[in-house]
């Protein structure tokens, strides 16, 4: 396989690993807040998510630091994208109404 394609695939794999890691974190926090034992949810999820990501990085990197770096860049990109998506208030939510009201006051 030629190197640019391998780097691109490593970056895509990093995006997928990041989506899995941070998506599972979001899901765990939602479930953990409703659970009578949130510590178990959080600790179990941390161990599982970390194991999945480390195994993914190990397989994608395959002893090539360039692939590992591309995978890391994809992982960080997924984090940035998911953080921005999660920061947006849902339409019709109280936070969205407050932001719209504040924008009206600033005008």
In this predicted structure, the answer to whether residue 4 has a pLDDT above a threshold of 70 is yes
Whole-number pLDDT of residue 35: 87
Contact 70, 14 (CB under 8 A): yes
Write down the residue that tokens 């990093």 correspond to. 14
Whole-number pLDDT of residue 85: 85
In this predicted structure, the answer to whether residue 82 has a pLDDT above a threshold of 60 is yes
Q: For residues 56 and 42, what is the distance between their CA atoms, to the nearest angstrom?
A: 21
In this predicted structure, the answer to whether residue 89 has a pLDDT above a threshold of 60 is yes
Contact 3, 64 (CB under 8 A): no
- How many whole angstroms from its chain centre is CA 41? 18
């Amino acid at each position: 396989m030629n190197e640019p394609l391998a780097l691109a695939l490593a970056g895509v794999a990093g995006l997928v690993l990041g989506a899995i890691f941070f998506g599972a974190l979001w899901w765990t926090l939602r479930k953990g807040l409703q659970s009578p034992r949130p510590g178990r949810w959080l600790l179990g999820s941390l161990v599982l998510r970390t194991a999945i990501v480390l195994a993914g990085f190990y397989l994608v990197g395959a002893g090539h630091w360039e692939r590992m770096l591309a995978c890391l860049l994809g992982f960080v990109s997924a984090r940035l994208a998911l953080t921005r998506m999660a920061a947006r208030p849902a339409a019709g939510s109280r936070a969205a109404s407050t932001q719209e009201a504040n924008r009206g006051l600033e005008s």
